[in-house]
Chain A
Amino acid sequence: MSVSTPEKKDIQETPEAGFGKRSPGRRLIEANTFWIGLVLVALVVLFSAIAPDSFPTLFTFQTLFIESSVLLILSVGMTFVIITSGIDLSVGSVLILAGMVAGKTMEGMSGGDASKAGWGVITVGLVVAVITGTIWGLINGFLVAVAKIPALIVTLGTMGAALATAYLLNGGSDLRTVPAALTQTLGYGTSFGVVPNLVIVAIVITVIGAWLLRTTKFGRYTFAVGSNAEGSRRAGIGVTMHLLKVYTLTGFLAGIAGFLSLAYYNSTTISGHTTDNLNAIAAVVMGGTSLFGGVGTILGTVIGVFIPAVLRKGFNIIHVQDFWQMFIVSWVLVAAVWFDQRRRRRRNSR
């Protein structure tokens, strides 16, 4: 048989022939993040060429980064969840709820108007926001990992529940008194002259997230669970516990994001966050993380957050209606999943 001849050669190949690492150049070209990174660079170059006076400015980039910070933090958590082949639709609502609970607490401690509250009250507010997010994440994790209800349904449920709770807490309206000390430092303040504080927080969290995912056992198990949950269980990994931790981490980050959002917008801005969950998922998936689990990077997610943001900013500056941004991003998202699926099918047919 002619087919068997080349395969036979393969067997007799000496073991030393393999075991190579791919060259850095080849690895770069084979990396998803490289290509979407190029797209981002191309967009920035394109808009800079069209509007050289207004796009490539310090102000544009400052606002671009600030406006992306909150979404970036949500997306870092979402990356972990999606790598485990799960999903978390509740992040936007948890953000709102955490902000609302923190705001309510701060108001309560200052007798109804928190505008002039000091750092003691603000610290309590931060702790409350983080705890709220973490508990909500824990509930998600428990229902997904222990009760084994599909993540889509669990987080669809907790999304509605968190949003409803936030409305109930303040009679259906936004909360508007936020400590001025908080908005002036964390919300609008800058460090080193030009870097917004909000952005610094987002960068720190993103770097820690990337470190956690890329170099630690926690990250390795996140990939393993998403790649083959049953196999991981057989290898002695506590899959249930790990999923619980991942959903809790996402809730924790949503809690932080809720507090930052409160600081920046000076209000709970409930209606402004109702599509945050989908934006985060879109960013993560566009960034090359696979909805089927086992694959993903934080760097990709960062790029995935900035592609829509740059598009929106650019369209605003060159006076194109930013509905076009939504239109384009939606189709890019579908294309990204399609490519991922094709890649997978090709691989599995071997």
Chain B
Amino acid sequence: MSEILLDAIDLTKHYGSVEALRGASFQARAGEVTALIGDNGAGKSTLVKCLSGAEQPTSGKIVLDGEEVHFDSPTTARRMGIETVYQDLAVAPELDPAANLFLGREIHRKGILGKLGMLDKAEMRRQAVEEFQRLGVTLQSTDVPIGSLSGGQRQSVAVARSVVWASKVVFMDEPTAALGVVQRERVLDVIKKVRDKGIAVVLISHNMPEVLSVADRVEVLRLGKRVARFTGRDTKLEDLVAAMTGALVQEEAA
């Protein structure tokens, strides 16, 4: 069993009188895919937002790599090695794959030209090709706008963008929701490669067979609380569904 990299303890989040999280806990381990599942409204998105800095929990503790942390913005979380892949394709369709990979992290030229804001496009392209090859993302061409690629390739680039920069945790919110069967396989392959790098991957998904095929560990949220945990290998689909619907409860509220 690998070390616990990200540990959320007893998080609550209130939006006015609505309680989106009611003491939710969550753990992700290095080099493992942890699936976070739950029915609509269970609080998955809110939990991920709290853990990636997009929202701040009302109360509770987040521990990253043994130290308690507070994310006041996604930028802070990113600086600590936490990246998020969003459900809707969050790439700039008119830019090429290399530009998308380096979006917000451009490499400047050396010397005075770089100080003036000039970008080193050749270097970014070189590194991008290297990273795409490492992650097994195949593209016909690196100088066409990403919008002219297929949905799977686009999402692969989006996934690659997060994992290249993530040193600790990657959240993936329904990364395959918009994809076809073949494209989905491709993205799942990338996810496995990322896990093998020793990064903690958190997969949010509604697709149970997908969860069972890639997840090393499954945590189930229901009504803003974690209700069950499973280890991937010996989990059955019925157990997951039972936990999501409330028929099975492993953990009583603290």
Contact = CB atoms under 8 A, between A and B. Distances in A.
Interface string A327-350: 000000000000000000001101
A8 to B, nearest CB: 7
Nearest to B140: A18
Contact of A19 (B78, B86, B141): B141
Interface residues of B, number: 43
A319 interface: no
A217 B94 CA distance: 16
- Interface range for A: 35 or more
Contacts of A16: 133
Interface stretch (A66-74, A218-226, A307-315): A218-226
B106 interface: yes
A347 B151 CA distance: 11
Contacts of A25: none
A293 B147 CA distance: 13
A48 interface: no
B129 interface: yes
Contacts of A226: 94
Interface stretch (B28-36, B113-121, B208-216, B227-235): B113-121
A20 B97 CA distance: 12
A128 to B, nearest CB: 28
B141 A22 contact: yes
Contact of A350 (B106, B144, B151): B151
A237 B92 CA distance: 12
Interface in A241-261: none
A217 B117 contact: yes
Interface in A94-108: none
B136 A15 contact: yes
A253 B105 CA distance: 29
A112 interface: no
Given A11-B185, A237-B103, A347-B148, A21 B92 contact: no
A331 to B, nearest CB: 26
Contacts of B78: 236
A41 B113 CA distance: 34
Q: Could you tell me the dominant secondary structure of chain A's interface residues?
A: helix
Given A19-B139, A19-B141, A237-B104, A216 B182 contact: no
Contact of B143 (A10, A21, A231, A237): A21
Contact of A217 (B74, B91, B106, B181): B106
A7 B182 contact: yes
B86 A234 contact: yes
Contacts of B90: 228, 230-231, 234-235
A234 B74 contact: yes
Contacts of A347: 93, 147-148
A243 B42 CA distance: 37
Contacts of B91: 228, 231
A82 to B, nearest CB: 13
Interface string A260-295: 000000000000000000000000000000100111
Given A8-B182, A223-B95, A350-B149, 18 more contacts: A7-B182, A10-B138, A11-B185, A215-B121, A216-B116, A220-B119, A224-B92, A224-B99, A224-B103, A226-B94, A227-B92, A227-B93, A228-B90, A230-B90, A235-B90, A294-B92, A347-B148, A348-B147
Q: Which 10 A-B pairs have the closest CB atoms?
A: A294-B94, A235-B104, A227-B92, A216-B117, A236-B104, A227-B94, A231-B90, A235-B103, A228-B92, A15-B133
12 contacts: A8-B182, A14-B138, A19-B129, A20-B140, A21-B142, A22-B143, A220-B95, A226-B94, A231-B92, A232-B104, A234-B90, A350-B148
